[in-house]
Amino acid sequence: MKTLLHLLFAHSSRLLQTFRFSALLISAFLAQIEVVNGQAFLKEDFIISTNQLDQNKGPLRQNTIHVPLKMGGPGFDAISSFQLFLQYDPAKLSLAGYIPEAINNVAVNSEGNMLVLNWSNPSNPVNFTSTTILLQLQFNRISEGDVSLIFLPGSRVGNNQGLLPVQYVNGIIFQTWQLTLTSQPTDGGTTTGSGEYLPGQSINLAALPSLGFYFQNWTQNGNILSTNPSFTFTMPASNVNIQANFTPQSYQVTTQSIPSEGGLTSGSGVYEFGQTVSLNANAHTGYCFINWTIDGEIVSANPSYSFTMPAENLSIWANFEHLLYSLDLDVDPPASGSATGGGDYYFNDAVTVVANASEGFQFECWTQNANTVSTNPIYSFLMPASALQLIARFSINTYTIQIQANNPDFGSVTGSGTFFHNDPVTVSALPNEDYVFIAWIENSQIVSFQPIYTFNIVSERNLTAVFQEMMTCSQPVELSVNDLSETTAVISWVSPSEIQAWDVLWDLADFDTLQTGNLVSNWTQNFLLLDNLSPQTSYDFYVRAICGDDLQSSWTGPYRFSTHYVGSFEHSSFPQFLLYPNPAKESLTVASPSTLTGWIHYELIDNRGVKIMKETKWFENNLKISLAGLHQGIYFLNATINSQHFTGKVSVVN
């Protein structure tokens, strides 16, 4: 039968130490101990039965047990005291005393189930480096069965420098040495094997790296002991500090922008576990940063995001939003026009805004923050990265009223000037003595028979007050021709409002009014369409008013007009000629796209067939003709060069 001796003799933190004894008589106790895996066992071979004899001391008494107490080993060169606490079962053993061996004056006291041994000799320390029996404890067995002798915490051995860590091994008290294991860094991993050990003892050390670390090596005082996380260490006769070194593992951080054109990120790279990672997201113009996500989970809404590197590779997404910016359009002054093209746009979108003036207004410019950005009503630009307000500015139209009398000796007029659109305007005509006002005319058309004419102005106007000498039946005045073509003409005249009928006589120019002529009698409108005319032909017409059955006015006329040269190129044998500008103001250019030189003969004719100008000049690709002094109206150019003929219609404006 095996009897266990489990012991650890040390300070108050040590495990309890236990001796177990069989009911047999036992001698030479310590010589029979075997240490296995840190446990001390009695070897069965050395158990002596009741009938056996001790070779040295003779027959042993069956009821007496001697327990020798030894001390020895490094560190015990100057022992000055000890205090030992032992526990036993008083129902099976009783203390009989002790036998001194190497020391005397040991106080042995038994209190209940505890045995206390005290010894002190500070003035004369004893060298116990060689194993020495201190004393033998004597017990009487008072009952059968196994007995345990337990060394309690608090047992201690001292020298002049203080208390020594000790163990009780194989019946001998030895000094122990501290093996301390540390991890670097402290969170890099855990170790096993720390403790108090005897010199020469083999200890199995093990290092287990934490998540995110790998084991590097064991070092002592900076010297590498092993690169294996598990190795066997032999304990020296000294305290030892051994460091298990761990190294953080490295992991990849990958960042990406969504959408890719939304912005840039920085901070991608390889980082060690536990290292601080700093990421930054910079939005491109027209985008804003929203958040960082990992596997769809939001981890930060700050474009600058820092975190501690975990033990894994990371793919982190920087999410950006494509911003819409509002384009607001306004009109100034209100109701002066409209503006289209406003709305929401992305940065750099092509935008076109259009301003449309209301009647009586004209577009001036587009402004932003009181600054003019365009004077074109159709304004195209690229949307900036901000909200934008544009104002379409319009100005009210102004018109000039020109008035005159048909003859300043017949009367006077008032009311001319410049006015805003839709302003009320009043013009007045005052006839001189012996003259009467007949009508206001414009472009040969009667616009009012009232001498005081009021209207709202919506365009430029040129009014003529027609006066006539007082007579029984007034002659028509202001004969004119409108809408002239090669085969038609509209002739018109002006009479007082009370006259409702006229006679019209017309025919070829210089016709004999007594013998020929086309007579239109009792015509009830003050204009007449003449058709089936001959091109390039001059005509005369006369008009008289019918005031009653037996009363007519004198004939007014003749008024001559011509169908010559109507249109720009109707009768041109050299159509390469160009006329510009047309309408023209101060001058007219006659040009030929081809290289053409020679003497040009030209004449300018008004719509009545009257030659206004006739000249011959040297022509070299183009010719400029002065129009100074000509009245507003339609004129016809008839030109010949190098036997080539050209005709064209010219509109002259003032």
Sign, CA dihedral 87-92-98-102, equals: negative
* Average pLDDT of the residues in 542-562: 87
pLDDT of residue 348: 94
CB contact at 8 A, 220 and 235: no
Which backbone phi and psi does 161 adopt, to 5 degrees? -95, -10
Model confidence at 250, in pLDDT bands (50, 70, 90)? very high
∠ CA 591-597-601, rounded to 5°: 75
* Selected residue with higher pLDDT from 167 and 267: 267
Q: pLDDT tens, 430-442?
A: 999 989 898 898 8
Nearest CA-CA partner of 271 in 303, 302, 313: 313
Model confidence at 595, in pLDDT bands (50, 70, 90)? confident
pLDDT of residue 609: 67
* Average pLDDT of the residues in 94-113: 90
Q: State the average pLDDT for the chain.
A: 83
Q: pLDDT tens, 356-365?
A: 999 889 999 9
Model confidence at 25, in pLDDT bands (50, 70, 90)? very low
pLDDT of residue 151: 74
pLDDT of residue 593: 64
Which residues are within 8 A (CB) of 332 and not within 5 positions of it... i.e. 6 or more apart?
391, 392, 393, 394
In angstroms, the CA 332 to CA 368 distance is 12
Neighbour-count burial of 387, counting CB atoms closer than 10 A to its CB (0-12 exposed, 13-18 middle, 19+ buried): exposed
In angstroms, the CA 262 to CA 260 distance is 5
pLDDT of residue 18: 39
Distance, C-alpha 388 to centroid of its chain: 18
pLDDT of residue 549: 77
In angstroms, the CA 244 to CA 218 distance is 5
| Residue 490, token pair as written in the block | 């509209």
Q: Please give the share of the chain, as a percent, with pLDDT higher than 70.
A: 87
Q: pLDDT tens, 447-482?
A: 888 899 999 998 899 999 999 888 778 889 889 887
With H, G, I as helix, E, B as strand and everything else as coil, classify residue 260. Answer: helix
Distances 599 to 104, 615, 625 between C-alpha atoms, Å: 161, 10, 14
In angstroms, the CA 469 to CA 331 distance is 54
* Selected residue with higher pLDDT from 155 and 274: 274
Model confidence at 608, in pLDDT bands (50, 70, 90)? low
pLDDT of residue 481: 86
Report DSSP letters for 195-231, one per residue.
Answer: EEE-TT-EEEEEEEEPTTEEEEEEEETTEEEESSSEE
CATH code linked to domain 324-396: 2.60.40
| Residue 181, token pair as written in the block | 């294991």
| Residue 151, token pair as written in the block | 């060394």
Nearest CA-CA partner of 395 in 331, 340, 456: 331
With H, G, I as helix, E, B as strand and everything else as coil, classify residue 302. Answer: coil
E strand residue ranges, 144-211 = 147-151, 156-159, 162-164, 166-169, 172-175, 177-184, 189-192, 195-197, 202-209
- Max CA distance (Å), the chain: 197
* Selected residue with higher pLDDT from 604 and 569: 604
> Is the per-residue pLDDT at 164 higher than 70?
yes
Tell the CATH topology of 578-652. Immunoglobulin-like (2.60.40)
pLDDT of residue 61: 43
In angstroms, the CA 117 to CA 222 distance is 44
pLDDT of residue 236: 92
* Selected residue with higher pLDDT from 44 and 159: 159
Tell the CATH topology of 477-562. Immunoglobulin-like (2.60.40)
CATH 2.60.40.680 fits 4-175, yes or no: yes
Pairing relationship of beta strands 461-469 and 398-405 according to DSSP bridges? parallel
pLDDT of residue 56: 38
- C-beta neighbour count of 302 within 10 angstroms: 13
Distances 397 to 205, 400, 453, 619 between C-alpha atoms, Å: 103, 10, 21, 43
Amino acid at 178: Q
* Selected residue with higher pLDDT from 652 and 523: 523
In angstroms, the CA 118 to CA 99 distance is 15
Q: pLDDT tens, 116-128?
A: 999 998 888 998 8
> Is the per-residue pLDDT at 171 higher than 70?
no
Q: pLDDT tens, 285-306?
A: 999 999 999 999 999 999 999 9
> Is the per-residue pLDDT at 14 higher than 50?
no
Neighbour-count burial of 335, counting CB atoms closer than 10 A to its CB (0-12 exposed, 13-18 middle, 19+ buried): exposed
End-to-end CA distance of the chain: 144
pLDDT of residue 564: 65
Q: Tell the residue number behind the tokens 């820092």, with chain if given.
A: 306
- The domains of the chain are located at 4-175, 177-248, 250-322, 324-396, 399-469, 477-562, 578-652
Q: pLDDT tens, 30-86?
A: 322 222 232 222 222 222 233 332 333 333 344 788 888 888 777 788 899 988 888
With H, G, I as helix, E, B as strand and everything else as coil, classify residue 349. Answer: coil
* Average pLDDT of the residues in 103-121: 90
Which residues are within 8 A (CB) of 620 and not within 5 positions of it... i.e. 6 or more apart?
596, 597
In angstroms, the CA 371 to CA 353 distance is 17
* Average pLDDT of the residues in 259-263: 95
CB contact at 8 A, 398 and 432: no
pLDDT of residue 428: 96
Q: Which of 408-412, 457-461, 484-488, 613-617 has the highest mean pLDDT?
A: 408-412
Q: pLDDT tens, 314-348?
A: 999 999 999 999 999 999 999 999 999 999 999 99
| Residue 267, token pair as written in the block | 């901070």
Q: Which residues pair with 520 in a beta bridge?
A: 504
With H, G, I as helix, E, B as strand and everything else as coil, classify residue 581. Answer: coil
Nearest CA-CA partner of 96 in 115, 79, 72: 115
Report DSSP letters for 393-438, one per residue.
Answer: EEEE-EEEEEEEES-TTTEEEE--EEEETT-EEEEEEEEPTTEEEE
Sheet of 611-620, strands arranged across: 578-580, 587-591, 622-626, 611-620, 597-606, 633-641, 644-652
In angstroms, the CA 439 to CA 451 distance is 7
